[in-house]
Amino acid sequence: MKVIIFGSTGLTGRQLIQSAIEEGFDVTAFARIPDSITIHHPRLKVFQGDATREKHVDAALATGQEAVLFAVGTDLGQTNLRQTAMKNIIAAMQKHNIRRLVGIGGMGILQADENQMIFETKDFPAEYVPVSQDHYAAWQALLRSGLDFTFVCPPNILDGPFTGKYEVQETYPPDGKFLIDTADLAQFMVKELAEPQFIGKRVGITAI
């Protein structure tokens, strides 16, 4: 499988590159600064571009890609980055007949109960609401897209090694430590790409 990774220079993105290579995929790392990609492998290529620029994304996905891994991050100072990048990616995927995407959202858009999401609850920290709204907008764009997506919604992400000790659950956060190591998160995302179990779903994940 030929897979392109957006957000490839972040902590999770670097683990996604490694996990995808280990899975046997041909990997393209999409990056604004190619020198930020320090992994070298015969099945790894780097494509320079900005995910917020539609032409860059379109050109990247016109290179024969078959699937997308999405790990574009947001921060408290720029809360429309994820939805902007996602909309560009969706448009290019539809244009080039690419159907499968596995991406990272945030735990805040999982359900707290059947009537509200976690970020809508009164105890959710106010400073994280805009970021969660960005995650929500990206998820809504996926729902409208008709693509075969899986949106993985982790709690705190730590830069840690693979343990294999994690739980996943549709729609709601699973019971656990409310943290996840980058290698475990990446391994689950690549596994879901290779062997789909949660198409069209939000998926909570946490270490146990």
Instruction: List pLDDT tens digits, range 157-192.
Output: 999 999 999 999 999 999 988 999 999 999 999 999
E strand map for 44-184: 44-48, 67-70, 100-104, 111-113, 116-117, 148-153, 156-158, 166-170, 179-181
Specify the pTM: 0.95
Contacts (Cβ under 8 Å, ≥6 apart) of 115:
none
Each residue's pLDDT tens digit, 114-157: 999 999 999 999 989 999 999 999 999 999 999 999 999 999 99
Tokens 């991050």 locate to 73
What's the gap between Cα 70 and its chain centre?
3
DSSP annotation of 47 reads E
Tokens 């735990």 locate to 107
**Distance of CA 90 to CAs 10, 86, 107, 147, Å?**
21, 6, 22, 8
Task: Using DSSP bridges, classify how beta strands 116-117 and 111-113 pair: parallel, antiparallel or unpaired.
Answer: antiparallel
Please give the CATH topology (third level) of the domain spanning 2-207.
Rossmann fold (3.40.50)
